[in-house]
Amino acid sequence: MKTELTDTTSSKVNAALLEARRAIGSPTLGMVLTLLIVTDEENAYDAVRAASEASHEHPCRIIAVIKRTARAHHLQRQTRLDAELRVGSDAGSGEIVLLRLHGELTRHTGSVVLPLLLPDAPVVAWWPADAPADVARDPLGALAQRRITDAYANPDQLGALEDRASSYAPGDTDLAWTRLTLWRSLLAAALDQQRQPVTGAAVESEAENPSAELLARWLSGRLQVPVERVVTEGPVITRVRLRTGAGDISVDRPQGALAVLGVPGQPDRKVALKIRSTAELISEELRHLDADEVYGAALRRNLSEPE
């Protein structure tokens, strides 16, 4: 069921949501959180679609906040809120509210969104692109327990990591870090099979890859060894090598969904290491609403620090 409201208010949106749920017999019971998506019109469709897929695992109210900027000067002064509501089969396993803010209203997003949050439920904020420099101090970020950014969406990807590091607050995370979960799990499992101390490491990837940079920082901090960054043609991370006295532990994924794991003294074997979709990454993040201290430590580590 879809409902469109033009030149409306937050209270009218709430009333329309209640009426839509009554019409289809769908209460709010079972929704576990509110997911705020802060985006522009260009990225709204893909972001809402990914969030809707993630809602099958985490039933939630999805609120997409879309700031609209008029080209004509006289229209820029007009303040208006338009909304599109989706409930039932059109909204995954929850509800979707698209809010389009015009004019001066774009400066007061917190006041518009606050009445629409699910009561007594966590709030997660996600910026698919164009995240503010300090997400914890942003009006919408201040409402959230978890704040998700994506350095890949920034033209200066490594610069975006530095912004995240300088303003980091507990609850911040980035999808460039979430993309590393399978890599980190595989490397940790390989180290459990090889008791030789690691003396050095190398991370190979395409240039300016934020996930590779975070992986190098994580390895440097956890293993207390120098980590070399090697540029390849990609795509994304292609290989990680951990040097030991018995030989290299390596994970090699030049392309595709399979990688080759090499451990000294054992035959090479193929392991699944696919590039996951945005919906899968968001689903993972919604499982963990507490502060990710490991991400914070990796983010703020400088590879030039002495070991």
pLDDT bin (cut points 50, 70, 90) of residue 109 is: very high
Say how far apart CA 130 and CA 132 lie, in whole Å: 6
pTM: 0.92
Q: Which of 28-37, 68-77, 116-125, 205-214 has the lowest mean pLDDT?
A: 68-77
The alpha carbon of residue 13 and the mean position of all alpha carbons in its chain are separated, in whole angstroms, by: 27
Task: Name the token pair of 76.
Answer: 């820029």
% of the chain beyond a pLDDT of 70: 93
In the predicted structure, residue 82 carries a pLDDT above the cut 70: yes
Q: DSSP per residue over 26-40, as a string?
A: --STT--EEEEEEE-
- pLDDT per residue over 25-56, tens digit each? 765 567 889 999 999 999 999 999 999 999 99
pLDDT of 22 reads: 84
In the predicted structure, residue 76 carries a pLDDT above the cut 70: no
Q: Of 66, 75, 214, 206, which is closest to residue 130 (Cα–Cα)? A: 66
- pLDDT per residue over 173-223, tens digit each? 999 999 999 999 999 999 988 878 999 999 999 999 999 999 999 999 999
pLDDT of 33 reads: 94
Q: Stretch 155-167: mean pLDDT, rounded?
A: 94
